[in-house]
Amino acid sequence: MSTSSKSSFLENVNLSFDRAAEALDLADGLCQQIRTCNAICEVKFGVRLRGSYEVFTGWRATHSEHVLPVKGGIRYATFADQQEVEALAALMTYKCAIVNVPYGGSKGALKIDPRKYTEEELEHITRRFTQELDKRGFIGPGLNVPAPDMGTGQEMMSWIADEYQKLHPNDINARGCVTGKPVHFGGIQGRTEATGRGVQFGLQEFFRHPDDLREAGLEGSLEGKSVIMQGLGNVGYHAAKFLQEEDGARITAILERDGAIVNDNGLDVEAVSAHLSETGGVKDFPGAEYFEDGAALLEKECDILIPAAMEGVIHRDNANRIRTKVIAEAANGPVTFEADNLLRGQGVVILPDAYLNAGGVTVSYFEWLKNLSHVRFGRLDRRYEEAQGKAILDVLEEALGKPVSGPARDSLMEGPSELTLVRSGLDDTMREAYREIRELLLSNDKIKDLRTAAFGLAIQKIADIYQSMNL
C-alpha cells in the first residue's frame, strides 16, 4: 500500500476533533483554542560515540496547558517527526480529559533506532536529550512529565530521572519529573502492564452493556470470543495475556513484523511471546499456521480485532475487507478517519484509542502522586485493613461455628498491596470513563459513535476549564 492512500496521523486526530466539536454548543473560537498545539521544541545535539560525533534530532510538543503539568511519552523511532509528535500530544490532551487525569497533553520523540546502540551509548544519548529538554523548560515534575513509549522503557526513564536530579539537586520532587521508572527508583507496581490491563478493563466494561453488545452483533461475555492481536509488544502481550487467562477469550491470530500465525482453537500467548523473544518472529511457532503476509490477517473474521502496534494500519484501502464486530484500539491511531467512517457504515463498533489505551497515563498519574507524596500506596492503611478483615473473619467464624479456610480466608486477611490498589484504581477509571462516554452518546442526537462521544467528552471538559478561568 502506498503512503498516498493514507491521511496523516495529525489530520486524522483533527478530523475526529472537528466532528465532535460540531456536535457541541461552544463559544466561537474556543474549539480552535483547544485544538491548537501550544508549543513545540525541536532540538539537535551532538554526542561523541565511537570516536566521532553523531547529531541527533528530537522533539517535545506541549499541546495544551489548561492544567499543569502536561504528560506524554517519549518514543525512540527512525520514522518519528514533528507532525507525529504534535498528533500524539493532542491525543494525550484528550485522553487525559476522558479518564479524568488532571494533565495537559504532551509528547516527545527522538529520531533514532535504539537497536543500533549499546546500552552505554543509549544512556549517554538519553542524558543529553534530557539536558536539552531541561534547558528549554520541557521537563519538570510540575511542568512536563515524560513516560516510556515505543522504543523506550524503564531503564531510560531512570536515566532521565537521575539526570534531572543532577540538574536540580534541591528539588525534593525531582523523581516525579518522569514516570514509568523501575519500582526501586520511584516507580510503581503495575506500570509495565498498565496499558494492556486498561485495554482488558475497557473491554470488560463494554461487555457489561447488553445494548452496546447487540449493536455490535455480540452477546454474553468475553469467554470464548475470538480475538486477533496485531502486535505482541508490551501493550499487545499484556492485553492478550489477561484476556486469555482471566476472561477466557480465544486469541486466534497474532500478527507480528515477520508475518502472522493462526489457530482457530486459540494460541498460547505466553508460548508465542517466548518464541518471539527467542527467534525474533512468529514463524515456525508449533501448532499454528504461518502466513508471511501478516497484514492480510487483519481481514480474517473474528469477534474482536485489537490493533496494538502502529497507527494507520486500518485505512480506506482495506476497511471494506475488515470482518470483525469490534475494533479495540490498543495502539494510537490504528484506524484512519476515512476507515472509521467506512467501518461505522458496516456496523463495526470501535472502542477508540483516546479511551481504551489510557491505562498507561492513568497509572503514570498514580506513580506521579506517589513521587510527590513520598509514600507508597498501601503503606499507611494496609495493616489497618488486615485488622478489619480479621475482625470480620472472627465474627463470621463465630456465626458459622467453624473456621473459614482457603481463598475466602486469604482474601479477608490480606490488606491491599500497592499492585492491588493500582489495579483497582485503573479498573474504576476505565469503568467511569466508558460510562461518561456512553452517557454523552445517548444524550446528544448529533453524536453517533463512541469515538465522537469520547472526543466530545474531552472537548467539553477542557472547555469548562477554559471558561471557568475566563481564558
pLDDT > 50? residue 25: yes
In angstroms, the CA 419 to CA 271 distance is 25
pLDDT single digits (tens) 186-208: 999 999 999 999 999 999 999 99
In angstroms, the CA 130 to CA 151 distance is 16
Q: What cell was used for 293?
A: 503476509
Tell me what pLDDT residue 3 has: 37
| Burial per residue of 198-216, b for 16 or more beta-carbon CB atoms within 10 angstroms, e otherwise | bbbbbbbbbbeeeebbeeb
pLDDT > 50? residue 2: no
Tell me what pLDDT residue 5 has: 46
The residue annotated as part of the active site, out of 6, 107, 241, 300, is 107
Judge if 172 and 201 occupy the same domain: no
Judge if 195 and 110 occupy the same domain: no
Judge if 243 and 320 occupy the same domain: yes
Average pLDDT for residues 312-329, to the nearest whole number?
96
Judge if 339 and 194 occupy the same domain: yes
Judge if 321 and 466 occupy the same domain: yes
Q: How confident is the model at residue 4 (pLDDT cuts 50, 70, 90)?
A: very low
Judge if 147 and 232 occupy the same domain: no
pLDDT single digits (tens) 144-187: 999 999 999 999 999 999 999 999 999 999 999 999 999 999 99
Which domain range does residue 84 map to? 39-185
Q: Which residues are registered as beta bridge partners of 98? A: none
pLDDT single digits (tens) 356-402: 999 999 999 999 999 999 887 666 666 667 677 667 766 766 676 77
As a whole-number percent, the residues of the chain with pLDDT over 90 amount to 84
- Into how many domains does the chain fold? 2
Tell me, what amino acid is at 462?
I
* Least reliable range by pLDDT among 165-169, 276-280, 414-418, 463-467: 414-418
- Sort residue 6 into left (φ over 0), alpha (ψ -120 to 50) or beta: beta
Cα–Cα distances in Å, from 81 out to 63, 76, 335?
15, 11, 19
Tell me, what amino acid is at 161?
A
Last residue in a domain, options 149, 170, 185: 185
> What's the CATH number where 133 sits?
3.40.50.10860
In angstroms, the CA 21 to CA 275 distance is 46
**pLDDT higher for 342 or 421?**
342
Sheet hosting strand 349-351, strand order edge to edge = 289-291, 259-262, 250-256, 226-230, 302-307, 324-328, 349-351
Last residue in a domain, options 126, 152, 185: 185
- 107 is known as an active-site residue: yes
